[in-house]
Amino acid sequence: MSNDPRFFAFLKERIGLDVASVGEAIIERAVRQRSQAVQAQTPGQYWQHLQSSEDEQHALIEAVIVPETWFFRYPESFATLARLALARLAEIKQMRALRILSLPCSTGEEPYSIAMALLDAGLAPHQFKVLGLDVSPLSVERARRGVYGKNSFRGGDIAFRDRHFTEYGDGFHIADRVREQVRLQVGNLLDPTLLANEASYDFVFCRNLLIYFDQPTQKQVFDVLKGLTHVDGVLFIGPAEGSLLGRHGMRSIGVPQSFAFSRHAEPVKPEPVFVPMPTPPRRAAPVPVKPRPFSTASTQAGPIKAPPSDAGTLLSRIASLANEGKSAEARAACEQYLNSHPPAAQVFYWLGLLSDVAGSALEAQGFYRKALYLEPQHPQALMHLAALLESQGDSAGARRLQARAARSEQTVSPNDE
């Protein structure tokens, strides 16, 4: 409808959104949809309505924020949390309950996953409590309902669903014993007084949020997160955000694929405790950034079962292996693809991602650029290479790639949404 900068500024002020991180087209479509919903004929009319209606302000934010989450996303994070929680309880001699924070909690899959992981690890209900916060009242309300469709359960191992859910006609209802461990409320990380009067948290989950902010906002949000995390606590982030925390003095605890950071310089090495965890693959790949403070799994590549002639099946297998953290197997599948099929941008993109996670920045850049040579507007390769360049100090190069990604978004017609 319009690229009116007032709407960009509104979202920047309210939720810290950097327009370059998502592309102007995403925001423009949200403004267009909301304008049609309230029957505003011009951008000016909609702007006036937006300024006078708090409900509409929430509605526009909801239209821009499209939650993409599911239970036990990044499964190693929850396995690591369970091991650390047991060690933390022993350290404090079980004198109090562990405090865990999930923000943004979206529609509740993450905080409920935290609760299920800890219950399955043997923690008693009185030993921990979880708080979930989100800027979206609609998402918080859906989380409170605790009713989920099949899209919230991904991967081959969803045995937790049988343990913690009951199926009814409208979906899968989470068990009361899990719900009772989680408190949910609306909250904004840009509020410097957020939870100011509460004690700090032993574990904080804030994943895939910082990448959508510009650097000043990242610093502002990090200061809030640091204040919320206990001095001996652990902060779980998204795969793309490791270097951001590294610049602010936090360090990886050294557990591959956990994306867990603390203020301690030395890696935390808790005693291993067996915790049966599901391993759902992610549909969308994480945006990696360099330098990577974590390493890949050391398992050797096994045989690839997908037939070489079936390109689509092999591409799907590559994505599943990479998303499950099976880096060696995923790389072997990429090499098999290239040996038996014409070069494909998506395969070079995955090789770039795998190299980036392994800490090989130059190799990752080469693969991302090969992907862009074959498909100049490959959206994921553009965004990931931009993130990599930004972390290396090449802000100008990163902005150029972000601009290309934004132009690509603008080519999407309303009928393609």
Angle between helices 137-145 and 54-64 (to 10 degrees): 70
Average pLDDT value for residue range 96-123: 96
Average pLDDT value for residue range 331-346: 87
H/E stretch holding 129 reads strand 128-134
**Cβ neighbours of residue 165 closer than 8 Å, sequence gap 6 or more:** 148, 172, 173, 174, 175
Which alpha helices (DSSP H) does 166-214 contain, by range? 176-179
Cα end-to-end distance, the chain, whole Å: 14
Q: What is the DSSP letter of 274?
A: -
All structural domains of the chain: 5-64 (no CATH), 75-262 (3.40.50.150), 311-416 (1.25.40.10)
**301-318 per-position pLDDT tens digit:** 334 344 444 788 888 888
- Preceding omega of 291 cis (within 30 degrees of 0): yes
User: Contact 116/160 with Cβ under 8 angstroms?
Assistant: yes
Pairing relationship of beta strands 251-252 and 260-262 according to DSSP bridges: antiparallel
Place 243 in a pLDDT band, splitting at 50, 70 and 90.
low
The pLDDT score that the predictor gives to residue 296 is: 32
User: Lowest-confidence range among 163-167, 241-245, 293-297, 369-373?
Assistant: 293-297
**64-78 per-position pLDDT tens digit:** 776 678 999 888 899
Supply 30's token pair. Answer: 């949200």
Pairing relationship of beta strands 98-102 and 128-134 according to DSSP bridges: parallel
Residue 40 phi, psi (nearest 5)? -85, 135
Distance CA 383, CA 20 (A): 10
Q: CA-CA-CA-CA torsion for 308, 310, 313, 317, nearest 10 degrees? A: 10
Distance CA 175, CA 310 (A): 42
**152-184 per-position pLDDT tens digit:** 998 777 899 999 999 999 999 999 999 999 999
Residue 50 phi, psi (nearest 5)? -60, -40
Average pLDDT value for residue range 30-46: 88
**252: β partners:** 261
Cα→Cα distances 395→23, 121, 265, 392, Å: 17, 44, 28, 8
How many CA within 13 A on the CB side of residue 129? Answer: 11
Tell me the pTM. 0.63
